[in-house]
């Protein structure tokens, strides 16, 4: 899911990027394909990103092929040409009527796009970018566990239902599930050198493992991605200047360009992963899960403490895998479990090509994993439809953890807003100041004390004046309100 935040324009010297149009070689170095589904509330961002691509344009060595579907325009299959206009002026390819209004949530549409691009623009290397809203492995809009971040993100998608990736508004809100994307990549006639997700929350261990047979390198974000998405002009200029790049080098370039473009964004994450060794991570996760299950009664407290402090993303159910293992090592006294946690970290280190993150995710290391707060919020389809869950004992570990009292922690139970200045209509309007009292609930198996909290916001239009508060001790199942009101 793309997280839309207002950002100032990143102005560039367009003329410096303009290139003389050249015909593709019989076999180019790269065919860079973008499956750009803007048939939703990301319409304007889609147009902007195509214009970024046109600031560079295709070359003889690099074909930039885009299937573009906008909210109110028919779908277009394009070979991107260099152009300095604000409108889209690239060459329309193939039969316009065939591509006019395809359902981008239908895997057959993706298969047709991949096969057309590879047949008509053959290359030594192929990259595919999937562009749209994303939600990791699961469906948003059906979650029974929602963090405050998740609420904000869902609100920015016009209350739509997001499942996997590539949500198509005019096709009855259809989208590509993980299984459908896997079937499309399996059916297509090419193997991808690089698979990238310009979409939110796709940076999961589950996603990397799911597509390990269909690409050499995967690029994705653990966290949400701003509406502006990838800086395509910067990325493609690097590729066209050096078309001899390997997939690993291109993946690293995407991460570096993205990190530079969003240097002031404290929440961003992006990583490039070597899928050829992703089985290292799968095997290490399985060994960790079995070790944890074997002594779950002795380890559940340490495992709960680790979960309570782990770095999570827009949904609290997606936690950073590397950081969780670091915390398990810190809290556990079980030498075998500590060793297995270290093995997971070593395996993650072995697959990371490049990884960058903002200061608000200082502990992010490139891949999240599904770890719900409570068993009641666990989606049963996880164990039966996700390859990582089927091929490891991770879901069995989750079950054992909950059955032995794991889960819970401090959760927001509710809040009360009180206007300090304004018209007292219970709506916080521009220029008004309000106090907020937040109530926390302790869902852990032990009492929580010495509770200190800091309130943060991603909304650039909200200024938090008083962001710190303390709470009294809260017994298991109990609630308490902040001693000091937050003010913004």
186 and 213 belong to one structural domain: yes
99 and 158 belong to one structural domain: yes
16 and 85 belong to one structural domain: yes
pLDDT tens digits, one per residue of 341-359? 999 999 999 999 999 999 9
Separation between Cα atoms, residue 479 and residue 413, nearest integer Å: 8
pLDDT at 423: 72
Residue 3 has pLDDT above 60, yes or no: no
470 and 360 belong to one structural domain: no
Residue predicted with more confidence, 443 or 239 = 239
pLDDT at 115: 97
Residue 292 has pLDDT above 90, yes or no: yes
**8 Å CB contact between 433 and 488:** yes
Long-range own/partner contacts, residues 322-331 (CB < 8 A, 24 or more apart): 322/348, 322/363, 322/365, 322/366, 322/367, 323/363, 323/364, 323/365, 324/369, 324/371, 325/288, 326/363, 328/302, 328/303, 330/306, 331/301, 331/302, 331/303, 331/305, 331/306
Query: What residues make up the domain containing 469?
Result: 410-487
* End-of-domain residue from the set 364, 379, 403: 403
Residue 410 has pLDDT above 80, yes or no: no
Q: Which range, 1-10, 40-49, 432-441, is most confident?
A: 40-49
144 and 229 belong to one structural domain: yes
pLDDT at 450: 82
CA–chain centroid gap for 9, Å, is 23
Residue 11 has pLDDT above 50, yes or no: no
Query: Mean of the pLDDT values across residues 151-170?
Result: 54
Measure CA of the first residue to CA of the last residue in the chain; give whole Å.
28
Separation between Cα atoms, residue 186 and residue 195, nearest integer Å: 13
pLDDT at 421: 75
Question: The whole model's pTM is what?
Answer: 0.81
* Domain harbouring 133, CATH code: 3.40.50.11970
272 and 297 belong to one structural domain: no
Share of the chain above pLDDT 90, in %: 60
* End-of-domain residue from the set 225, 249, 277: 277
382 and 430 belong to one structural domain: no
- What tokens does 453 get? 């909290």
* End-of-domain residue from the set 253, 277, 301: 277
Residue 300 has pLDDT above 50, yes or no: yes
221 and 156 belong to one structural domain: yes
Query: Mean of the pLDDT values across residues 238-266?
Result: 98
- Residue 469 confidence class, pLDDT cut points 50, 70, 90: confident
285 and 192 belong to one structural domain: no
Helix and strand numbers, DSSP H then E, in the chain:
15, 22
pLDDT tens digits, one per residue of 310-335? 999 988 899 999 999 999 999 999 99
Separation between Cα atoms, residue 28 and residue 244, nearest integer Å: 10
Query: Mean of the pLDDT values across residues 86-90?
Result: 89
74 and 133 belong to one structural domain: yes
pLDDT at 145: 34
147 and 80 belong to one structural domain: yes
- The mean pLDDT of the chain is 86
Query: Mean of the pLDDT values across residues 282-288?
Result: 99
From 271-285, 396-410, 437-451, the region with the lowest mean pLDDT: 437-451
**8 Å CB contact between 168 and 233:** no
315 and 455 belong to one structural domain: no
Query: Mean of the pLDDT values across residues 243-254?
Result: 99
Number of domains observed in the structure of the chain: 3
Residue 257 has pLDDT above 70, yes or no: yes
From 4-13, 177-186, 470-479, the region with the lowest mean pLDDT: 4-13
- 28 phi and psi, to 5 degrees? -80, 170
């Amino acid at each position: 899911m793309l997280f839309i935040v207002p950002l100032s324009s990143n102005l560039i010297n367009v003329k410096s990027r303009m290139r003389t149009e050249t015909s593709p070689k019989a076999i180019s170095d790269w065919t860079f394909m973008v499956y750009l589904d803007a048939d939703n509330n990301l319409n304007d961002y889609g147009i902007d990103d195509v214009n970024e691509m046109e600031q560079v344009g295709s070359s003889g060595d690099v074909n930039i092929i885009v299937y573009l579907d906008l909210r109110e325009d028919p779908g277009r299959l394009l070979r991107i040409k260099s152009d300095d206009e604000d409108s889209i002026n690239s060459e329309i390819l193939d039969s316009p009527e065939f591509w006019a209004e395809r359902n981008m949530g239908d895997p057959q549409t993706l298969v047709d796009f991949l096969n057309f691009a590879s047949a008509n623009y053959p290359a030594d290397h192929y990259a595919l970018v999937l562009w749209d809203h994303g939600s990791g492995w699961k469906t948003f809009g059906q979650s029974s566990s929602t963090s405050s971040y998740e609420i904000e993100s869902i609100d920015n998608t016009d209350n739509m239902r997001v499942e996997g990736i590539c949500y198509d508004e005019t096709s009855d809100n259809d989208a590509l599930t993980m299984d459908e994307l896997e079937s499309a990549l399996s059916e297509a006639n090419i193997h991808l050198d690089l698979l990238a997700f310009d979409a939110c929350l796709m940076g999961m261990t589950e996603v990397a493992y799911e597509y390990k047979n269909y690409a050499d390198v995967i690029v994705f974000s653990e966290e949400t991605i701003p509406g502006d998405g990838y800086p395509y002009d910067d990325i493609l200029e690097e590729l066209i200047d050096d078309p001899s790049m390997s997939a690993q080098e291109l993946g690293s370039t995407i991460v570096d360009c993205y990190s530079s473009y969003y240097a002031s964004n404290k929440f961003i994450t992006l990583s490039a992963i070597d899928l050829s060794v992703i089985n290292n991570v799968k095997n290490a996760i399985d060994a960790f899960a079995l070790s944890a299950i074997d002594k779950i009664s002795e380890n559940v407290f340490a495992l709960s403490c680790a979960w309570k402090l782990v770095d999570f993303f827009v949904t609290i159910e997606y936690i950073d895998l590397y950081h969780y293992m670091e915390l398990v090592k810190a809290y556990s006294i079980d030498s075998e479990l500590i060793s297995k946690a270290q093995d997971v970290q070593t395996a993650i280190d072995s697959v990371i090509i490049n990884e960058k993150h903002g200061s608000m995710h200082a502990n992010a290391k490139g891949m999240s994993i599904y770890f719900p707060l409570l068993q009641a919020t666990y989606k049963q389809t996880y164990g039966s439809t996700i390859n990582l869950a089927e091929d490891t004992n991770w879901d069995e570990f989750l079950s054992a953890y909950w059955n032995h009292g794991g889960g819970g922690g401090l959760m927001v139970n509710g809040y009360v807003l009180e206007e300090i200045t304004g018209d007292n209509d219970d709506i916080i309007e521009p220029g008004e100041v309000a106090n907020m009292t937040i109530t926390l609930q302790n869902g852990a198996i032990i009492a929580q004390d010495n509770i200190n909290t800091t309130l943060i916001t991603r909304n650039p239009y909200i200024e938090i004046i008083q962001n710190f508060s303390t709470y009294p001790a809260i017994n298991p199942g109990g609630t308490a309100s902040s001693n000091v009101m937050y003010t913004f």
